[in-house]
Copies of this chain bind each other. A is one copy, B any other.
Amino acid sequence: MIQARVTVYPRREILDPQGKAIGEALSRLGFQGVVSVRAGKSFEIELKTAEVGVARRQLEDMCERLLANTVVEDYEVEILDEDGR
């Protein structure tokens, strides 16, 4: 069993209205020194396989084919160990 996390963010060069709005909202709430906010998606995926290598390839394939829209989004795959760190 492998716990993994996939994070999908809008590409840097593409402006991110949601992140912008959240940044503004945070300042309105009085939070000082927020330089930038990027808003993305996070997927926690549990896989049957035990092989990290296999899992990683599978997850990257999932991103290319479904989880991320590579036209406007970048993705990142992390394998978490048992206790989900």
Contacts and interface: CB of A to CB of B under 8 A. Distances in A.
Interface string A33-49: 11111111111111111
A85 B32 CA distance: 24
Interface of A: 1, 5, 7-9, 19, 22, 25-26, 29, 31-49, 58, 61-62, 65-67
Contact of A35 (B19, B36, B47, B67): B47
A81 to B, nearest CB: 15
Contact of A62 (B1, B31, B35): B31
Contacts of A46: 34-37
9 contacts: A9-B44, A19-B43, A29-B65, A34-B48, A35-B47, A36-B46, A39-B41, A39-B43, A40-B44
